[in-house]
């Protein structure tokens, strides 16, 4: 779904033929408004600029799409509370066989260790609580900053 | 339009999700099912053969929809999940909660006459 | 045609919901290597970020694609002589009903007034010389800087 | 591959341009025709029904190809130009230089048996 009015957005892409100072071949940064209608486009932009060609297998691309959509949704809804005066910052890097996507919001953060696992039989019919669980199972590594308003996801090419 | 709904001859209401089912549009799907329930539809298939990806809000919306349909004495089946989409249901164990058919045709056919 | 190795590239997109200080809703800048294999991707990126949705009619989008491809080819081949140490800078802006695309190379420039019209019957079987003529006929306004190493094309929505 | 070539039953060599015909790939088209000439092909159709856009180098390449084919006693027709592509030939008056058919089938058919 595309937003009826194109949302405001800042996108910077830096692509190199040889690794840059941080080892990155591709660096993408995006400043996204706190509007869930942007998520699909942002996921598409990231995939297009980071995973062009056959670099990642189909399943990895799928997993990255879902994990990125989740992280954006959490940043926009749980983090920034859909406050349009706040932004979500996305940084993505392709380094060697890894792709790293970092999503940072302007909210208070949270304690990811306190989030329960959502797959107990009694919880199966709860409508939420599956986002972080999905992310952790779809990418190879997930880290948060101390405050909890920034998540960094790493996926390795296989 | 991300959702297209058709009612088949056997009286089964088939909703196809085109594109993504995510936080930005799941409400539309919930509304579509609610309206159909209000119009006395009771047999639903949600088909994902033209779906790209689903996020946790989309999965959550399916859980809510399933509950609503059951509460009103209806039945819901899912269909058309490719390997990637199916893995999301398996990871979250939601494959145990939903009746899942390979294709929309089979899902329709599996409703008791 | 996509380049076998993705070319190095810098892309910045700034999109607003309301016009910015220069009146622009969308500003795109691109730094492109002097490699003709990049042209198609650059044209696609510009079209995607400037002419998303139904903003321009089909013919206008086509004309803009061709004019932009031409200007890039001239900048890369005639301007920078395909010297990989030189860059082509592209700036695009959508302001109201206009889209402006500026292409600047690092070459010596030239005198556009001295370029002959290529449609005389005797010249029809010449293999080149149609680029500027096409550009002038495909967009609404064409300007050069004094040096002649920068072309600015404007197309109005109709 | 941006160009696909097939030889039809009547012995006409049909080359389809997929995507763009521009400065970055026109040499491939020239080479493809030259190789076919070297293999004694003499009847050519270049079809643009799956072409996005053509730049002035692409138009120039067609001019060169046309000349080469004529010099070797062959014939060339173009086909499948949509309204947008056709406008480029009209602007540059190249529509007067080329034999142009609506479709590749008609172009093939128009060669003298
Ligand atoms: N960026 C964030 N900022 C603040 N809280 C967050 C953030 N991301 C996740 N959370 C918290 O973690 C909880 C679990 O998140 P998640 O597993 O994605 O499920 P859901 O979002 O469906 O509740 C959320 O309800 C929220 O309280
Ligand atoms: N950016 C540029 N820098 C230097 N010379 C240029 C530039 N653009 C065009 N020219 C000159 O103008 C001439 C005509 O350009 P054009 O009409 O595009 O036809 P062609 O490129 O096929 O010769 C070129 O041959 C070149 O000498």
Kindly tell me if the per-residue pLDDT of B2 is higher than 90.
Answer: no
Q: Which ligand is nearest to the CA of C129?
A: 2
Using CA atoms, how far residue C59 sits from C63, C130, C158, D81, in Å, is 6, 19, 10, 14
pLDDT at C6: 67
What is the mean predicted confidence (pLDDT) over D6-17?
92
What is the mean predicted confidence (pLDDT) over D50-65?
98
Strand partners, C100: C93, C154
CA distance D45 to D58: 16
pLDDT at A6: 67
CA distance A117 to B15: 31
CA nearest neighbour of A28 among B32, C54, C13, C117: C13
Q: Which uninterrupted H or E stretch holds A80?
A: none
SS3 D44: strand
Residues in chain B: 113
Query: Is the CA virtual torsion B52, C11, A149, A33 positive or negative?
Result: negative
What is the mean predicted confidence (pLDDT) over D6-25?
94
- Computed over every residue of chain B, the mean pLDDT equals 95
CA distance D13 to A55: 36
> What is the CB < 6 Å shell around ligand 2?
C 74-75, 78-79, 105, 107, 109-110, 115, 128-133, 149; D 56
Residues of C with CB under 8 A from a CB of D: 1, 36-37, 39-40, 58-59, 62, 65-66, 69-70, 73, 77, 118-119, 121, 124-131, 133-134, 137-138
Which residue from D19, D59, D97 is facing C1, i.e. has the nearest CB?
A: D19
* Atom nearest to A151 CA in ligand 1: 1
Kindly tell me if the per-residue pLDDT of D1 is higher than 80.
Answer: no
CA distance A143 to C27: 34
In chain A, which ranges are continuous DSSP H helix? Answer: 39-50, 58-73, 131-138
What is the mean predicted confidence (pLDDT) over B99-103?
97
pLDDT at A3: 38
pLDDT at B113: 64
Mutate to test the pocket of ligand 1, among A73, A110, A153 (most ligand atoms within 8 A of CB): A110
pLDDT at C59: 96
The ipTM is 0.85
Kindly tell me if the per-residue pLDDT of B1 is higher than 80.
Answer: no
Stretches in chain A below the pLDDT threshold 70: 1-6
Which residue from C7, C17, C52 is facing A8, i.e. has the nearest CB?
A: C17
pLDDT at A20: 79
Which residue, by CA, sits nearest to atom 3 of ligand 2?
Answer: C79
| Residue C28: count of CB within 10 angstroms of its CB | 22
Whether the CB-CB separation of A82 and A143 falls below 8 Å is answered with no
pLDDT tens for chain C, 158 residues long, are 333 456 899 999 999 887 878 788 899 999 999 999 999 999 999 999 998 777 899 999 999 999 999 999 999 999 999 999 999 999 999 998 999 999 999 999 999 999 999 999 988 999 999 999 999 999 999 999 999 999 999 999 98
SS3 B113: coil
């Amino acid at each position: 779904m595309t937003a009826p009015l194109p949302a405001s957005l800042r996108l910077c892409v830096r692509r190199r033929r040889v690794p840059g100072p941080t080892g990155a071949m591709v660096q993408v940064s995006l400043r996204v408004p706190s509007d869930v209608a942007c998520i699909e486009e942002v996921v598409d932009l990231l995939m297009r600029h980071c995973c062009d060609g056959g670099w990642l297998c189909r399943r990895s691309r799928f997993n990255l799409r879902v994990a990125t959509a989740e992280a954006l949704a959490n940043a926009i809804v749980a983090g920034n509370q859909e406050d349009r005066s706040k932004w979500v910052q996305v940084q993505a890097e392709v380094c060697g066989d890894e792709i790293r996507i970092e999503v940072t919001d302007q909210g208070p953060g949270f304690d990811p260790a306190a989030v329960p696992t959502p797959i107990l039989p009694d919880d199966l019919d709860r409508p939420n609580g599956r986002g972080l669980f999905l992310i952790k199972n779809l990418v190879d590594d997930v880290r948060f900053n101390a405050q909890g308003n920034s998540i960094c996801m790493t996926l390795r090419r296989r | 339009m991300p959702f297209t709904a058709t009612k088949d001859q056997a009286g089964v209401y088939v909703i196809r999700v085109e594109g993504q089912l995510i936080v930005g549009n799941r409400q539309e799907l919930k509304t579509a099912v609610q309206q159909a329930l209000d119009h006395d539809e009771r047999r639903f298939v949600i088909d994902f053969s033209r779906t790209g990806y689903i996020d946790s809000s989309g999965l959550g919306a399916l859980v809510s929809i399933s509950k609503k349909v059951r509460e009103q004495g209806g039945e819901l089946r899912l269909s058309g999940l490719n390997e990637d989409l199916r893995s999301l249901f398996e990871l979250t164990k939601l494959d145990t909660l939903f009746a899942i058919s390979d294709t929309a045709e089979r899902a329709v056919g599996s409703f008791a006459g």
